[in-house]
Amino acid sequence: MTESDKAQAESLPRVTENSQLGIAFVLTLAGDGEVVEATEDNEVFRFQIGDGQLFSALENWLIGLELGTRVQLGLSPAQAFGEPDPGNVHRMDRRDFPEEMVLEPGYVVGLNTPTGEEVPATVLALEADSVLLDFNHPLAGKPLNFDATIKEIDGQTQPD
């Protein structure tokens, strides 16, 4: 490594508790590697540490890392979307759904709360006059893998 390379490496910014980051990432299911979410080629996901866009466990792992660092991390269900809560499974009257709405086990439907917020629910079972719905996050109870490269820190981009 030349002196110039050493000086550049020593001057690379590090992630702090207040950093604004840009990362390229892939989030997959730990079991089968199915991609849950990912940035596209030449795209970065921008966020501020602490703004709630990433799991706090991931943010904590990123703090202290240098620009350009690639990390591969495993997330337990507790560190990601949590464990499924049996209290989030509810039965609703079939007539509460629009006639044209396709309801089949495994489908995720969006339902409006009284405040107008839309929440997803997975159809578990259909009966003549009711629908059994799971309001847990679809990824609750699933371990995940997170593979990310830090592309930007506070406006500074990764050197070529």
Q: For the chain, give every domain's residue range.
A: 9-81+140-155, 86-134
Q: Which CATH code, of 3.40.50.920, 3.30.210.10, 3.10.50.40, 3.40.50.300, is assigned to 9-81+140-155? A: 3.10.50.40
The Cα–Cα gap between 73 and 11 comes to 25
Q: Give tens-digit pLDDT for 20-48.
A: 999 999 999 998 999 999 999 989 999 99
The Cα–Cα gap between 67 and 159 comes to 8
Q: Give tens-digit pLDDT for 63-111.
A: 999 999 999 999 999 999 999 999 999 999 999 888 888 899 999 998 8
3 backbone dihedrals φ, ψ, rounded to 5°: -60, -35
The pair of three-digit structure tokens given for residue 143, joined into one six-digit string: 């371990």
**Fold of the 86-134 domain:** Thrombin, subunit H (2.40.10)
pTM > 0.85: yes or no: no
